[in-house]
Chains A and B, each alone.
Chain A
Amino acid sequence: MRIHPGVGRVLSLLLSLCLITGLAAAQDVGSGTRNLHTVGRVSHELIPTPAEFSVIVLDQDPDRPFAYVGGRTGWSILDLSDPGRPTVLQTLPSESLVTDIAHFQVDQQALVAVAAGDEVDVFDVSGIGTGEMPVAIRSYPGGSSATLFAYRHSDGRALLIVSTGGDAVIYDAGGSADAGPAASIQTPEQVDPEARGFERAYAAYHADTETDRFYGAGAGGYHVFDITDTDSVRHVTSAIPTAVRRGHMVSATPDGRYLLAGAEYRAAPLRIFDLEPVFEGRLSLVRTSVGAWTHDWKSFLLAHELRWPLVFVAAGERGLQVFNMRDPEAPYTYAYLSTSAAPQGEIDDRVHDVNGAVDVDVRNSDGLIAVLDRQTGLWLVRLDAFQGWDGRGYGIPNISSVQDWTNGPDGMTIFYSP
């Protein structure tokens, strides 16, 4: 049969279109923007804390190339000396799901707090890498969904903040285990008392006011407290959006001006709140965001790490997403990597059906990005032109979730003895 030349050209074009469409529809695990490069992987079968990974934490000490991975049955320590060949060093079983891990230092002793079940256990991990096992040294009360944040206070203390859905409890991790909490923070009076409590916390030094600030996500939204004096915690302000009944996560830009906040349901973008009107005394709280970001509104944004102006997001089935918020009113997607083959979860408001990338961390010393995917395991990734992060290189305080355990928060006035 002789095909008309015009029809032949169109058929050829259509065939190409079908191929392109088919390829685009079946996006492979590992595909993404060409500015992200996978340098190492540990499949979930190789980590003896199988299934339902929950948390990844990178040791930020350049001399300690370790990662801590938590999951349903325990937590593992990985050696990242060669990111291209990460290996599992040790695994510690747990009867309960490990809901969070925090790494911190006290007197140059490397410690890891692990939240599982009703307890938060603190381990000395100084000797790992030399064959020594982590040693449990103390415990704090936890909860079935406890989250942790370790903060180096401007007064020199290492604080461990435990959020369990109720009050956020702050412990002096270098003090006596029997001393009890250094502070306990309740949601402010603007929040319905029956709905009180925090899901997750972040703390950072606020250079402008030379204060230590606690940022809590929980009932009503997001709340900022001054914890400079932990004996006299003071509510600074809140972001209480009507569309968020319960905040899920929050962090602040290094200057403390903007909050980056996630909610407890799918379809919620990361909202960006500008606190400037509060700091200028024009408002006591804010209720609407100035911007928001999501790569796909159906994805579940589960965790994020802010390294201004970039934000690294564990976006469930959408894998790792990176966006730029230099203009907080117009953030844009900067890079992404598909880590998951999981199907799109149902757009159900309940916090379940969690798949794909569940947590992310960034090592400031060299820019290594670690993404934990519930199904495919650990991904070690590098982003072009991101070889580490120090806020001072951007003209802002060097403040992120990473603490300088030796020198304390950036922005402090430092006096040297003659």
Chain B
Amino acid sequence: MTRPARLLTSAFVFTVFAASTAAGQGIHQPQHPPPPGERGSPNIRVLANIPLGEATSVSDIEIEQELSRPYAYVARRMGEIGFDVIDLTDPEKARVLTRWRIENPDLHQGGAMDGRYFKHEGRYYFVQSLQFAQGGPNSDVGAVVFDVTDLPITGRVEEVGRIRQPETPGGFHNIFVYKHSSGKPLLFATSGSYAKVFDLDMFLKGDQTEMDKFTTDEETRALVGRVPLGPTPNPFSTGYHDFYIGYHQESGQDRFYGAGGSGYYVFDVSDLKNPKVLATILNVPGVAWGHTFTPSPDGRYAIGETEWQYQPLRIFDLKPALDGEVENIDHAISAWHADWTALAHNHEVRWPYVFVSAYESGLSVFTLEDPKNPTTVAYYDTYDGPHNQREARQPDSPYTWGVYNGAWGVDVRNADGLIVVSDMTTGFWAFKMDGFDGWNGEKYGVPNVSSVQDWDKGPLGSN
């Protein structure tokens, strides 16, 4: 083909792609396993893949946001309980910098789940949530905190302490770190029937015993808090599975978006002593329980996930409830699937994009530019295992275990748009998406609010 023809063809392909996306048609992601050569969309580029260990030993992922600190943390479970630190100095030559493992691993039953980093008073810390069953050691430990300020000098990574909750053993399944509008660095953690709130400043300056006291002593609860579960008309679960906390610029509130119980819940947690329910999403057909719940930067829309095969991600419009027109939202305004035969798992919102770790489907990106018509814009299938693995199925379980494999976690570095994915089986992945070189909400006409915190200044617009 001649050069003019090639140029014309390229222009046509680009035009068709852009037009179809703009028209709300998006692109089609093939079902897993994809056909030969169709593993990713043309606009996704793989920078790195690091196999980390045995299949299903990988869980969630976190990336630091400052380009001067190019580190990602991948949680590990099964026989490798702990986390791996990935050096992303050159993302195309990503490497494992160091690993931390729990002591006496053979005695522990469980694993490391969610990891989050935070910065406080000039130092950097990484919090790794842990879940251990009773019958082994550390069943009261919910998280372990490390000082990682001196990375890449691995010898100076130090364990600061462990957050214990002996009253509700079993650890923390998910955590979220949040720079509250009061200035406090807070850790929200799933524990018992609450989202427990820990003041990380107090933790760093105190010890484990004092921390226990803060969470149980009425006199000192002003320093921390507990977000109760909202109404649960169909009590599949009596606690939270996951949550997100974001600053709501319009109202000046710190808002908690919790998934669990019988659906999804929005609380005002500006005053940690008195969390107030702002909205509930209950009695939605097909939703007996919420897994993950993430709002748009302005807090109007939210994405809800349930962790069952064939269930899409649902998009909810919270406005009628937040405006007081209704107390409860009972339906979604739209839904999205990477592959209807599987299910999507965790997600990160960088409006209008939603980056999804979609288990068997790998990484998927869809746009909420039209919230009623979410459309896929990019994908890469990171998983190379079978669909709906027969050996993993449990027909009498409420969970669809056969499809819980593949991309568990996803994170996005706002500074440059680097996308990282943790795949339970194939390990660590780093990607770039064409045309996405970073994210700042203001460039998209929305508040600059995402899971990423401004640890130095706090939420934009807060005091």
Query: Which A residues form the contact surface with B (CB < 8 A)?
Result: 4, 6-7, 9-11, 14, 192, 195, 241-246, 263-269, 271, 274, 277, 283-290, 292, 294, 297-298, 329, 346-351
Specify the chain A residue showing the minimal Cβ separation from B1: A6
- Whether A263 lies near B395 (C-beta < 8 A) is no
Give bound CA distance, A246 to B288, whole Å: 11
In the assembled complex, which residues on chain A have CB atoms less than 8 Å from the CB atom of B395? 274, 277, 283, 286-288, 290
Which one of A269, A292, A347 has the highest number of Cβ atoms from chain B below 10 Å of its Cβ? Answer: A347
Instruction: Please state if B340 and A294 are interface contacts (CB–CB under 8 Å).
Output: yes
Pairs of residues from A and B, 8 with the lowest C-beta to C-beta distance, nearest first: A297-B340, A6-B2, A265-B285, A6-B5, A243-B308, A242-B398, A347-B335, A349-B285
> What is the distance, in angstroms, from B396's C-beta to the closest C-beta of chain A?
5
How many residues on B have C-beta within 8 angstroms of the other chain's C-beta atoms? 44
Complex Cα distance, B341 from A242, in Å, reads 16
- Give bound CA distance, A104 to B45, whole Å: 62
- Report if A348-B288 is in contact (Cβ < 8 Å); known contacts: A277-B396, A286-B395: no
With both chains docked as a complex, state the minimum distance between the C-beta of B24 and any C-beta of chain A, in angstroms.
11
B286 touches A350 (CB 8 A): no
Tell me if B415 is interfacial: C-beta within 8 Å of chain A.
Answer: no
CB pair A269–B4 under 8 Å, yes or no, is no
Contacts of B234 in A (CB 8 A): 192, 195, 245
Minimum CB distance partner of B25 in chain A: A25
- Do residues B8 and A7 form an inter-chain contact, with CB atoms below 8 A? yes
B262 to chain A, nearest CB (A): 10
Q: Mark B380-417, 1 if CB is under 8 A from A, else 0.
A: 00000000100001111111111000000000000000
Known contacts A287-B398, A288-B395: A349-B314 contact under CB 8 Å: yes
Shortest CB–CB separation between residue A8 and chain B, in angstroms? 9
Chain B positions within 8 Å of A264 at CB level = 285-286
**Which chain A residue lies CB-closest to B372?**
A346
Q: Is the CB of A245 within 8 A of B286?
A: yes
Max chain B C-beta neighbours (<10 A), residue from A192, A246, A348, A351 = A348
> Is B308's CB under 8 angstroms from A292's CB?
no
CB closest chain-A residue, reference B374? A347
A14-B12, A243-B311, A350-B331 given; A6·B289 CB < 8 A: no
Q: Which residues of B contact A4 (CB under 8 A)?
A: 2, 4-5
Contacts of B399 in A (CB 8 A): 242, 288
B residues near A348, Cβ cutoff 8 Å: 331-334
**Nearest residue, chain B, Cβ from A297:** B340
- B397 proximity list for chain A (CB < 8 A): 287-288
User: How far does the alpha carbon of A349 sit from the alpha carbon of B312 in the complex, in Å?
Assistant: 11
User: Which label, helix, strand, loop or mixed, suits the secondary structure of the A interface?
Assistant: loop
- Does B236 sit at the interface, judged by CB under 8 A? yes
Contact with A along B285-327 (1 / 0, CB 8 A): 1111100000000000000001011111010000000000000
Whether A242 lies near B308 (C-beta < 8 A) is yes
The residue that B394 contacts in the complex, of A242, A288, A346, with Cβ under 8 A, is A288
B:110-151 near A, CB below 8 Å: none
B8, B286, B334: the one contacting A346 at CB < 8 Å is: B334
Name which residue of chain A comes closest to B23, CB basis: A25
Instruction: Evaluate contact between A292 and B331: CB separation under 8 angstroms.
Output: no
Query: Complex formed: what's the CA distance from A9 to B4 in Å?
Result: 11
Contact A267 B289, beta carbon cutoff 8 Å: no
Inter-chain CA distance A242–B311, complex, in Å, is 11
Can you report 30 A-B residue pairs in the complex whose CB atoms are below 8 A from each other?
A4-B2, A4-B4, A7-B8, A14-B9, A241-B308, A241-B398, A242-B236, A242-B288, A242-B308, A242-B399, A245-B283, A267-B286, A267-B335, A268-B286, A283-B396, A284-B396, A286-B396, A287-B395, A288-B309, A288-B398, A288-B400, A288-B402, A297-B337, A297-B340, A329-B388, A346-B333, A347-B333, A347-B334, A348-B333, A349-B286
Contacts of A351 in B (CB 8 A): 285
User: Given that A4-B2, A267-B335 are contacting pairs, would A244 and B396 also be in contact in the complex, using a CB cutoff of 8 Å?
Assistant: no
Asked if B284 is at the interface of the complex by the 8 Å CB criterion, the answer is yes
Interchain CB contact under 8 A, B310 and A11: no
Q: How far is the CA of A71 from the CA of B426 in the complex (A)?
A: 54
A408 to B287, CA, bound (A): 41
Query: Which of B12, B310, B333 touches A269 (beta carbons < 8 Å)?
Result: B310
Instruction: Choose one: B286, B312, B398, B400; the contact of A297 (CB below 8 Å).
Output: B312
Do A6 and B4 have beta carbons less than 8 Å apart? yes
Tell me, in angstroms, the Cα distance from A348 to B287 when the chains sit together.
13
Contact of A9 with B372 in the complex, beta carbons under 8 Å = no
**CB proximity of A387 to chain B, nearest CB, Å:** 32
A239 nearest in chain B by CB position: B395
Chain B residues with CB below 8 A from A286, complex form: 395-396
- Output the least CB separation between B180 and chain A (Å): 34
For residue B394, which residues in chain A have a CB less than 8 angstroms away from its CB? 288
Q: When chains A and B are docked, how far (Å) is the Cα of A248 from the Cα of B127?
A: 45
